[in-house]
Structure 1
């Protein structure tokens, strides 16, 4: 990193707008790109779909099975086979890498479908078509069409003594229906959890992408990284192109074995492709990448952190593998446009200025480590206060151990979920690491943010960092927007 940051050029108007905040930005002809009047009836219909999905078993308790999802898509005429697939798994970086891949594909002239999870503010963020959140009326119409077939599968499952389709199983089927209806040229699918039995795995990925694998969801995926890697490697299908981020040695052995068993090719960061260099720039960084088929120099990436540069390298390699089997270099303008337009809401995102408020959805120790490193790389704060909220099934101790390296003050708050960890318990963990005098508990997030911002305004070069939970970060983004904190 250099000390004298360059300026990342502002993207052309509309090119890099975060469409998650403008889900109705479509033209009258139904194509993406124009501006459409807000349709309250369509919004209500889409919200009713979400309410119906929430009545099912939630995402915190997935079922390790694929047959029900396979049965549903079979009844619908196999919408998961309507376009080729790039499939992503890993512990951290999946959503950012997925969004980079999608943006590069779109810059290549392809119509894209993107499925990510979870959402930050509104659930339609999870299904994106050609760079825009799915339209409310499109989602509601597709739900109306698939609902009778979902009911058939539910009845069959109940008749066999099994539980009905879960939230995520049903939502995945809905996403496939939306993509087939669009239609799209390529689907980019982020797993919900794991890989082998994740409902997205009914699709066969031409390219399988593995982001860094570490400990998370141990109760569901395995007690160590090897077990977790075995589950995640289940997305590797016969003769696939596998693109992997840098991995621990034990994890890499699992991926190599999976690639051998499926007669797939395996390209690993630092060997087949790599980050050549990164330079801090205003608004992000300039990156140079060695891809599978060529090098790309001084590309503007409007995201902070060396981990995002590594995600970009993985994304470039994945798109090279998809478009030219790893042997055809992407055009410079494709890489410049694709990476230059990418957004990753909730990932080291500045949502307020005067004082600076940063949100980051780090919810495990590995993610917390990337946050700590990125704050040191890209920012120059003297003091930081961390607004922390953690879910009960997460490694709060591991997260706090990493964040304690910032020598920050902490405000522990409730992330607004029925799965939230007890705030007093989390505060106790923090107190043992940084001292009881540097931590306080404020249950309501809005009050916690007010306290943190008041403290930050009292000194020079102070900042507020909100982290620990995707739910918490989503609520913080909404509060910042509602209060007009003037983020640039």
Structure 2
């Protein structure tokens, strides 16, 4: 992207040009905790985030899956939605969806060009330039207003209080389970992280709280009391009553805020996804009104739920499963879901993590469930080098259960060979499979190598 003499960026003509201009800005990992830049930006754009109702989501794990279910439920009620999630799995335009579909390349370029003339004005007036993430948030909020949408479903990038998305004053604030992650940015205890994430709970809103530890719940409830938000909690005002694994997912009965919804088919795996579904249902009930939602509408919406890269089966023979778990809590939920819903024997892991993650904790959560792990790395500069991850993996799995293959394509091929070679040696009803995990980026790159978006 070149600059004209008056410093205004020229319009992007292609998706690649818009993407390049965005990536030339401060990366998502470079943070300066302030809402000044995004406030200045959205003010120049006419505060588009004030033109529609919204549901804002934070938490450590489950945000994207819950946001997607909220989106599907709202659309089933004939509401036009905008959804902002991050990071993307394969392509940047996945971050901004309207009516449940990511902006196509043409619409993404148009959204970028609509806001680009204002980016240099903010850059010139603030102490630091707009970051990549701040710019994409502005694009999303403006695109939602332009659509226009009835409701925006907005997932924070990191934290809450200082996250760029937090210029929105949402009707409903959703907090999925909080655990340790991004400790160098958010704090070294769950309570400290909760303090940052609690910032999305605003005056007069409804705070929908997934099951939390006592220390986290105390922080969230205190924030809600301070601002006068209404609180609904998993396990009290709403809950998962029963769940039974089923072919292609699970059958779930949910006690919502307005009524009970029996034996809903959810084509996603694991107790954590059932809990995400209950949280999503409570969020939509909180927004829509004081009557039970129509049973057939809820049933249809959950049956259509998808969550790419979250225990997603992308290939058979051998089965290859993608899961974006990137911290110990996420890994534990994934491992439990695998035990709950599948009989893979052997299960071979392909794991590539980011350099700032708790690799040892993640590997330890998977160790009882993986026969062997192929250690690799994704293509980003932030990836932990495979050799470094291997040192940690050997300490957890033992040398005989670890193979190092820095190229992801090689790691996938070798893991598939191991899965097929070992099939039938253990459980006669089991079959060999591969789990690709450790990072959203690793999963996204694997998804592209294995056939791309569906």
Scaled by the length of structure 2, the TM-score of the pair is 0.94
Map 1:45-444 onto structure 2 (within 5 A): 45-157=14-126, 162-324=127-289, 327-444=290-407
Does structure 2 conserve the Cα–Cα contact (< 8 Å) formed by 1:275 and 1:309? Answer: yes
SS, match of residue 280 in structure 1: strand
Could you tell me whether the CA contact under 8 Å between 2:331 and 2:362 is conserved in 1?
Answer: yes
State the alpha-carbon separation in 2 of the partners of residues 279 and 145 from structure 1.
Answer: 48
Measure how far apart 1:404 and its partner are.
1.0
Provide the secondary structure at the position in 2 that maps to 1:204: coil
Whether the aligned pair in 2 keeps the contact of 1:286 and 1:299 (CA below 8 Å) is yes
CA separation in 2, counterparts of 1:191 and 1:310?
19
Secondary structure of 1:91's aligned partner: coil
Deviation at 1:338, TM superposition (A): 1.3
Q: CA deviation at 1:139?
A: 2.1
Q: Note if contact 2:170-2:202 (Cα within 8 Å) is conserved in structure 1.
A: yes
- The answer (yes or no) to whether the contact 1:73–1:79 under 8 Å persists in 2 is yes
**Partner of 1:49: helix, strand, or coil?**
helix
Which deviations, in whole Å up to 9, do the C-alpha atoms of 1:375-409 show, x marking residues without a partner? 00000112111001011011101111111121420
Retained in 1: the 8 A contact 2:328–2:358? yes
SS of the equivalent of 1:286 reads strand
Give the aligned CA root-mean-square deviation in angstroms.
1.4
Cα displacement string for residues 292-343 of structure 1 (whole angstroms, at most 9, x for unaligned residues): 110001111111111000000000000000001xx32110122112111111
SS of the residue aligned with 2:451?
helix
Tell me the CA shift for residue 43 of structure 1: 11
**In 1, are the aligned partners of 2:69 and 2:280 still within 8 Å (CA)?**
yes
Shift of 1:417: 1.2
- 1:408-454 CA distance string (max 9 Å, x none): 20100012210011212211111112210110100100011111111
For residue 4 of structure 2, what is the aligned residue in structure 1?
none
Q: Distance in 1 between matches of 2:318 and 2:434?
A: 7
Offset, 1:210: 0.2
User: Would you say the 8 A contact 1:43–1:137 is kept in 2?
Assistant: no
| CA displacement at 1:146 relative to structure 2 | 1.4
CA distance in 2, matches of 1:296, 1:382: 35
Does 2:420 correspond to 1:457? yes
Q: Which runs of 5 or more residues in structure 2 are unaligned?
A: 1-10, 425-430
Look up the SS of the partner of 1:300 in the other structure: strand
Change (3 A) 1:453 1:272: same
Q: 1:250 is paired with a residue of what secondary structure?
A: helix
Distance 1:180 1:58 in 2: 26
Do the aligned residues in 1 keep the contact of 2:325 with 2:334 (CA within 8 Å)?
yes
Which moves more between the two structures, 245-254 or 329-338?
A: 329-338
Query: SS in structure 1 opposite 2:30?
Result: coil
Q: Provide the C-alpha distance between the structure 1 equivalents of 2:31 and 2:363, rounded to a whole number of angstroms.
A: 27
* Counterparts of 1:130 and 1:141, CA distance in 2: 17
Aligned partners of 1:226 and 1:251 also within 8 Å: yes
Deviation at 1:457, TM superposition (A): 1.4
- The answer as to whether partners of 1:43 and 1:136 remain within 8 angstroms in 2 is no
Provide the C-alpha distance between the structure 1 equivalents of 2:433 and 2:113, rounded to a whole number of angstroms: 47
Would the aligned equivalents of 1:407 and 1:434 in 2 still touch at CA under 8 Å? no
Q: Separation in 2 of the partners of 1:127 and 1:334?
A: 25
CA offset digits 1:342-383 (Å, max 9, x no partner)? 110000000110000001000000000011100000001121
Q: How many residues align?
A: 437
1:466 aligns with: 436
Q: Which runs of 4+ in 1 moved over 4 A?
A: none
If the length of structure 1 is used for normalisation, what is the TM-score? 0.88
User: 3-state DSSP class of the match of 1:401?
Assistant: helix
